[in-house]
Amino acid sequence: MSREEAPSGAARPPDPKSPARAGDVQASPSPIVRMRGITKRFPGVVALCDVTLEVMPGELHAICGENGAGKSTLMKILSGVHRPDEGELVIHGEPRRFEGTRDAERAGIAIIHQELAIVEDLPVSANVFLGREKRTSLGLLDERRMREECRQLLEPLDGRIDPDCRAGSLRIGDQQLVEIAKALSLDASILVMDEPTSALTESESARLERVIASLRAKGTTILYISHKMDEVFRLADRITVLRDGRTVRTVNRVETTPREVTGWMVGREIAAGPRGGRSVGGRLLEVRNLTVPWPGHARGYRLADVSLELAKGEILGVAGLMGAGRTELLETIFGAGGNDWTGEIRLAGRSVRFRHPKEARDAGIAMVTEDRKRLGLFPDFDVTANVSICELAAAGRGGLLGRRAEESLVAGQVRATGVRTPSLHAAITGLSGGNQQKCILARWLLTAPQVLLLDDPTRGIDVGAKAELYSLIDRLCREGDGIGVILTSSELPELLTLSDRIIVLAEGRLTGEFRREEATEERLMRAATGDAHGSPRREPRGHSAWRP
């Protein structure tokens, strides 16, 4: 039977004729995980319907699908976060019904969630052993032992993280590594990884892959959710595709292609990306010799002597490894990075110095942050309140908010940005990551910005939602005079797809600037690692790189 004829949900063991790799599993008549007829309903939506999944001992099984396809919900059922409304869960041949995550942990299952569960005010070591604290023979908290074991867990991931530092002070990529260390501390036989590399740099992702190889060598079974097809096809033995809460099919990795899997995920052709030929207008934003100090750090600065220009209708990409200063650059422009910077920022020819994001918003600048959960969403509000919150005055009269006027205001932006929601009053947390991100973008588009700052806007978003966001960003730059967009991304192909120009930061300094036609992944990486040989000739300061 060909893969096109394979029945929906058909699970087959890895092909014994495929090249042997470390951790490759052999055919086994007894799956370690068997999920049959799993159905899960939430108010207003059926998240899973009759889903079937079988996972063999020791394999890395990838779960693929668009945001909202049910991947995370299925894994939360496996790890005890949710209970299924219908269906059967069998672990190690034994039917199970978990009442909570502790039950799943006792059964040898651990999960690394896509949305981080960090307690920001606690140190890293306390987060890793939260609820399972180490104690002395007298029953006292053994902080020294926790620090040492935490350091050992972090060593293969990123030894630079101090177990004593406050978890909330870490950037999102380092917090992701703390979550991974927490899962590893459980010594589970079944490990669920939900988008574990979504906030990691390439070098950190490479470290994680080495850890995965080590775990598989010890016999750990891994269920791996990722939107990154290169990761899936590099790591997985088998792939299960979900769409709209149902199983589409399960195939061996060696029997399919990334394009085919993507097609199964979305059920339609994916556009290649924005078309070229955008018309670039006059100068909109200038940053000159921007320096942001970093007191107490050996480097002494977050950004040093950074200059850039942005035109109307232009997308300026910002590349760089984690810690390079990408987020700090956008936050400083937006007035969210403190007021101790030096240099000059000019908007439409006028020198500006924003002390608060409200001042930046009023001047025509909007920013979509990289940390959607912590800095972008109001989780207790519905879709309407999340979208309208920056423009409530437009829906009010005499100091009172008009509900119908607010709904009308939001409905137009929801349609324009393609948000898929059961209703305007659905819980924002009930939407997929891609639709949550569209809601945040809709919020800022209501302010009619001249400059749109996008900080890694597609992090944790599936390929279909990415294509829709690409098209939306491209359209925004083409309409009317066109807004100017500064875009950071941890994915170089994304920058190469969207950007008219790309600047590169390395350890807070500008190390390269590339026009679209001269940029390549290799040249960007060389500049991002401080290799000057990767950079083209720089334009003299004061000469715009977007001009002919």
- DSSP string covering 262-281, please? HHHHHSSPPP----S-PPP-
Q: Give 210's contacts (C-beta < 8 A, 6+ positions apart).
A: 156
DSSP 448: -
H/E segment holding residue 477: helix 463-478
Q: Which two tokens stand for residue 487?
A: 């875009």
Task: Report whether 50 contacts 73 (CB < 8 A).
Answer: no
- 245 dihedral zone (left: phi>0; alpha: psi -120 to 50; beta): left
Q: Give 517's contacts (C-beta < 8 A, 6+ positions apart).
A: none
Distances (CA, A) of 501 to 140, 300, 456, 496: 57, 29, 16, 9
DSSP 355: S
Q: Which two tokens stand for residue 277?
A: 């030929």
What is the rounded distance in angstroms from the CA atom of residue 273 to the CA atom of residue 471? 7
Tokens 């370690």: give the residue: 32
Q: Give 196's contacts (C-beta < 8 A, 6+ positions apart).
A: 112, 176, 180, 208, 224, 226
C-alpha closest to that of 133 among 144, 146, 121, 123: 146
pLDDT of residue 524: 86
Sheet holding 238-243, edge to edge: 109-112, 190-194, 221-225, 60-64, 238-243, 246-252
What is the rounded distance in angstroms from the CA atom of residue 303 to the CA atom of residue 310? 18
**In tens digits, what is the pLDDT along the chain, a chain of 548 residues?**
333 333 333 434 444 334 334 444 444 468 999 999 999 998 777 889 999 999 999 999 999 987 678 888 999 999 999 999 999 999 999 999 999 988 998 899 988 877 678 898 999 999 999 988 999 999 899 999 999 999 988 887 765 789 999 998 887 678 878 888 888 888 789 999 988 876 666 677 787 888 889 889 889 999 999 878 888 999 999 999 998 899 999 999 999 998 888 788 877 555 555 655 677 888 999 999 999 998 877 678 899 999 999 999 999 999 987 678 999 999 999 999 888 999 999 999 999 999 999 999 999 999 998 888 888 899 999 999 999 988 877 776 766 777 888 888 899 889 988 888 999 999 998 888 788 989 999 999 999 999 999 998 887 677 777 888 888 888 888 887 789 999 998 778 889 889 999 999 988 999 999 998 899 887 887 788 765 444 443 433 333 333 32
pLDDT of residue 531: 54
What is the rounded distance in angstroms from the CA atom of residue 294 to the CA atom of residue 353? 19
Domain annotation for the chain: domains and CATH numbers: 1-108+193-199+221-269 (3.40.50.300), 271-364+449-548 (3.40.50.300), 378-442 (no CATH)
DSSP-based three-state secondary structure for 165: coil
Write out the DSSP string of 55-110.
E-TT-EEEEE--TTSSHHHHHHHHTTSS--SEEEEEETTEEE--SSHHHHHHTTEE
CA angle 442/448/451 to nearest 5° reads 95
pLDDT of residue 98: 94
What is the rounded distance in angstroms from the CA atom of residue 526 to the CA atom of residue 548? 26
Beta-ladder partners of 35: 53, 89
Tokens 């740099």: give the residue: 201
Beta-ladder partners of 367: 453
pLDDT of residue 271: 52
pLDDT of residue 188: 84
pLDDT of residue 533: 42
Residue 234, φ and ψ in degrees, nearest 5: -90, -30
pLDDT of residue 265: 82
Work out the number of other CB atoms within 10 angstroms of the CB of residue 264.
17
Task: Report whether 104 contacts 80 (CB < 8 A).
Answer: yes
Length of the chain: 548
Q: What is the pTM of this model?
A: 0.59
